[in-house]
Amino acid sequence: MPEIGLGIFRPLYYSPDLLFCWRAGWAGGAFSRASSAWYIGPDGRIYQAASHVHRIEWYDLDGDGVRETPTTLLEPAATNLLLDSCNLPASGSAWAPTSDFAVSAATSIFQGQTAWRHQNLGQTMFAYRPQAVGTLTGQPETASVIMERVDASETRLSIYDNTLGVHVAQARLDWATGTATVSTGAGTARARKLANAGPNGGPVYRLSITGTGTAGNQRQIRLYPTGASQNTQAAIIHHVQHEVGAVATSPIVTTTAAVTRARDVLTFPWGYAPQAMTGYLRLMCLTVATGSLQTLFQIGNGSADPRLTVLISSAGRPRCDYRRSGTEVASSEAGTGQVNFGNLLEVLWRLRQDGRVQIEHSIDHAPPIVANVSSAAPVLAAAWSGQIAGLSARPVTFDFPAPAAWLDAVVLKGSEWTWDDLRSIVGA
């Protein structure tokens, strides 16, 4: 297994200008999570971390099929509303019994779980496995499934309105191309490859569908392991999830009841007064524009001023705010460059000595998008509202979270540092 947290030490690490430097796997912060949680290891298998143990999730950033890059996974709380998320035998679970498939146990990609091979018997079109799960909320909801191919041409997954008898949104995974599309209804479909070869020899994908149904109508999740046609193909089901929200969060394993994964909290002591600074953040974005603010990094306590916050705006673009008080606010946000789920996001922010701020960001190694320097210039305060900094949520209050898989965070004295300077520190 690759080593984690060793990093690349550059000469600038020893500079007196370095205020803060952290990367995935390093110690120095205060971490908590009041439940166990699951993460993807370097071998593509999915493992469980105990409560209050941070998750090192591994990514393949160069496309060579090897998960060589460790990240620290930070997410808000979420609940898998489906029961028996990994338990789909032909009968005897929360999933409706089936006579359309020959179902047999298979090796799971999840540590300590069982997967279920579904061989379509060719008796009907649209053979599916349903589970009723309460009522629709009228908010964005996301269903997801982790599947391994045997010889299926497609797999479909649907959020179904059982009151109206219609699909709120249905996703189709084309196994030949690995692409996901919305096949019925209205919503957003995503597919993410987890392994070129899973524990049973086939490629493994996570397929998700997000849609918004009519509040109060009866909800059902329908999984079509081998798609819509009348066929005798097979696929293996590893895990199914349904949650309220616009994206699929990390897998939550359930048995006889819904399970909630507690929020991840990571904070650091901050002993420096407000001053001219340049910061750099690098992360895998695990969110979309939600119409609400989502905090990436903050110095200071919660909603108390003075504080500095780097966030994703309601429009889905990185923004930097320096707030001396409720009426003294400097803000910088680019007019373009919305980030999306799965993007590699780099953010460079500056707090100037005169209180003005500026933000720049790069998505998936593209040239940086540079926002204007703020027009407002609040005088720098003598101290922050608290000697604390945090990632992926506001410290102390832990609200307005921005789920992410974190690679690095750096802060330097002075506001004139460049992209090359900051990238050289972390070896990006």
- pLDDT recorded at residue 245: 96
CA distances from 73 to 193, 232, 391 (A): 18, 39, 11
SS3 string of the chain? CCCCCCCCCCHHHHCCCEEEEEECCCCCCEEECCCCEEEECCCCCEEEECCCCCEEEEECCCCCCCCCEEEEEECCCEEECCCCCCCCCCCCCCCCCCCCEEEEEEECCECCCEEEEEEECCCCCCCCEEEEEEECCCCEEEEEEEEEECCCCEEEEEEEECCCCEEEEEEEEECCCCEEEEEEECCEEEEEEEECCCCCCCCEEEEEEEEECCCCCEEEEEEECCCCCCCCCEEEEEEEEEEECCCCCCCCCCCCCCEEECCCEEEEECCCCCCCEEEEEEEEECCCCCCCCEEEEEECCCCCCCEEEEEECCCCCEEEEEEEECCEEEEEECCCCCCCCCCEEEEEEEECCCCCEEEEEEECCCCCEECCCCCCCCCCCCCCCCCEEEECCCCCCCCCECCEEEEEEEEEECCCCCHHHHHHHHCC
* 276-302 mean pLDDT: 96
- pLDDT recorded at residue 9: 45
Q: Which pairs with CB-CB distance under 8 Å and at least 24 residues apart come from 186-195?
A: 186/211, 187/159, 187/211, 187/212, 188/246, 190/248, 190/341, 190/342, 192/342, 194/40, 194/44, 194/109, 194/146, 195/44, 195/109
Compute the mean pLDDT over every residue in the chain, rounded to the nearest whole number: 94
* 290-304 mean pLDDT: 95
pLDDT of 296 above 60? yes
Q: How confident is the model at residue 277 (pLDDT cuts 50, 70, 90)?
A: very high
In this predicted structure, which of 54-63, 129-138, 314-323 has the lowest mean pLDDT? 54-63
pLDDT of 71 above 60? yes
pLDDT of 64 above 90? no
Q: How confident is the model at residue 259 (pLDDT cuts 50, 70, 90)?
A: very high
Percentage of the chain exceeding pLDDT 90: 92
pLDDT of 382 above 60? yes
pLDDT of 68 above 60? yes
Percentage of the chain exceeding pLDDT 70: 97
Pair 160, 130: CB distance under 8 Å: yes
* 338-343 mean pLDDT: 96
Pair 68, 2: CB distance under 8 Å: yes
Q: What is the largest CA-CA distance in the chain?
A: 74
Pair 281, 273: CB distance under 8 Å: no
pLDDT of 11 above 70? no
Beta bridge mates, 296: none
- pLDDT recorded at residue 8: 47
Handedness of CA 270, 353, 327, 411 (dihedral sign): negative
- pLDDT recorded at residue 206: 97
In this predicted structure, which of 2-16, 293-307, 332-346, 370-384 has the lowest mean pLDDT? 2-16
pLDDT of 46 above 50? yes
pLDDT of 14 above 70? no
Question: What is the four-CA torsion angle of 56, 59, 64, 68, rounded to 10 degrees?
Answer: -30
* 356-382 mean pLDDT: 96
- Is the pTM of the predicted complex or chain greater than 0.85? yes
pLDDT digits (tens, 9 = 90+) for 156-195: 999 999 999 999 999 999 999 999 999 999 999 999 999 9
Question: What is the four-CA torsion angle of 61, 66, 70, 75, rounded to 10 degrees?
Answer: 70
- pLDDT recorded at residue 10: 53
pLDDT of 219 above 80? yes
**Domains in the chain, please, with CATH?**
11-36+264-426 (2.60.120.200), 79-261 (2.60.120.260)
CA distances from 139 to 13, 70, 211, 341 (A): 46, 33, 8, 18
- pLDDT recorded at residue 6: 42
Rg (CA), the chain: 23
pLDDT of 12 above 80? no
